[in-house]
Structure 1
């Protein structure tokens, strides 16, 4: 990493034009200014909070909607056959078009960004939850039914635990999608947020500002990934550890 950054800095000072490609020292200076003096849109922390709020709300609603509908359709062949064409058609719509429509419908405020993040998260989680519900061991389900388990008991004790790994795997990707949805929504129309900050830097041909905004978003995504990993470990603590392939040697 040090070698790469050093090479970039050297090339920016000797070969390439830093106006277009910037350089690590200018990006660092931009970050220092943002976190000490603020940005043209106010405090960087306030803008990060706005983007994070949009992403988290879109993530939570998208995960809940994706899990509920995915498990429901995964356990009902009839509903899956009826709704499959509509879901596939909705999934085929370009997200950037939906983001533009949401701005028209809901304005530049929070709802349009949450809606964009929701759409991106929902489909990522839905298909995994659907497949996870389909992969439940039929023998376990049949045995539970023989013992008199109700549908709710089947769902709570067999279906959801079996689909947990599928759902959690999708959540790692889904939060990145939620951030993308928030940023895209802010690009199209917003009054605050990291996405708008990046858009302003782009409009002013401030490549250092664009890179600095990218680093801020990356840091937010990495922190969220760490938190999701901690959550996954808690939710799957009941599972026995997977034996290593080298354990038999």
Structure 2
């Protein structure tokens, strides 16, 4: 004879087992999508009944505008221009900033000498320098790349420098005691140690690189999402402004998702 336990404790345990059948990643994705739908629905209702769409536009109008831009091909033109500017600035900042951060951490005295100057440059609002970049490098691709580079490079320098300062010195001494070659120490100790700092820097740098490219486009450009946003704002086209912002958000989300994938591949052992 089979005895069925119908107590509250048993029912609660059954609910927990049923809930565990849904993967945590899927449940998280569903909850995020639900929150997005709620926010967009609230925005749409507010624009229809509470606030003049001239000021906040509407999600439905933004989707319609994006569809028209995509059909005409201009969505790709403007998006690719901004992606290229921000991506090249980010790449250049990575190539320059990571070695400089390592150098400042390893050459301690030199690092202490230049650190106040680095912090002074980092604290300078690059938006104020944007007109100079236009004067120096013109209104073409180079000025946008340099603007993005000037914002992002300090993120890499300061994060890598700080990351190497926290390295376990006993571990370095152990390898030296074993007379390990310098390149072996770099490959087995230094690089794995600063990998989390590099990935964290990339997460911060993505948004900063986009900001640099957009600011440069706002000041002088003939294409790009920043140009499209400024052009729409000049015509009081709120829908166009939000359409450009929406594309920027999508680009940033996809770029961060790519960095997250790299992080899971390289640093999955930390989870």
Structures share fold, TM-score greater than 0.5:
yes
**Conserved in 1, the CA contact under 8 Å of 2:88 and 2:145?**
yes
**Conserved in 2, the CA contact under 8 Å of 1:108 and 1:189?**
yes
For residue 110 of structure 1, report the CA deviation from its aligned partner: 0.7
**Of 68, 74, 97, the match for 1:66:** 97
Counterpart of 1:213 in structure 2 is: 244
**Conserved in 2, the CA contact under 8 Å of 1:55 and 1:179?**
yes
1:10-49 equivalences in 2 (<5 Å): 10-38=45-73, 43-49=74-80
Aligned-partner Cα distance in 1 for 2:42–2:114:
53
Give deviations 1:173-203, integer Å, cap 9, x for gaps: 1111111111111111112111101110111
Asked if residue 132 in structure 1 is aligned to residue 167 in structure 2, the reply is no
Q: How many residues align?
A: 236
Counterpart of 2:27 in structure 1 is: none
1:80-119 equivalences in 2 (<5 Å): 80-119=111-150
Q: Unaligned stretches of 5+ in structure 2?
A: 1-35
**Of 173, 180, 184, the match for 1:149:** 180
Aligned-partner Cα distance in 2 for 1:72–1:197:
40
Counterpart of 1:224 in structure 2 is: 255
**Of 132, 145, 151, the match for 1:120:** 151
Asked if residue 196 in structure 1 is aligned to residue 231 in structure 2, the reply is no
Aligned-partner Cα distance in 1 for 2:172–2:47:
63
- Structure with greater helix share of residues: 2
* Deviation larger for 74-83 or 145-154: 145-154
Aligned-partner Cα distance in 1 for 2:270–2:182:
29
Q: Which one has the largest radius of gyration?
A: 2
For residue 25 of structure 1, report the CA deviation from its aligned partner: 1.9
Aligned-partner Cα distance in 2 for 1:103–1:210:
23
TM score, norm. by length of structure 2: 0.82
Q: Unaligned stretches of 5+ in structure 1?
A: 243-249
For residue 155 of structure 1, report the CA deviation from its aligned partner: 2.4
For residue 3 of structure 1, report the CA deviation from its aligned partner: 3.4
Aligned-partner Cα distance in 2 for 1:217–1:232:
22
For residue 150 of structure 1, report the CA deviation from its aligned partner: 3.8
Aligned-partner Cα distance in 2 for 1:122–1:185:
16
TM score, norm. by length of structure 1: 0.89
* Deviation larger for 176-185 or 140-149: 140-149
For residue 241 of structure 1, report the CA deviation from its aligned partner: 4.5
Aligned-partner Cα distance in 1 for 2:48–2:106:
61
Aligned-partner Cα distance in 1 for 2:235–2:100:
44
For residue 121 of structure 1, report the CA deviation from its aligned partner: 1.2
Counterpart of 1:6 in structure 2 is: 41
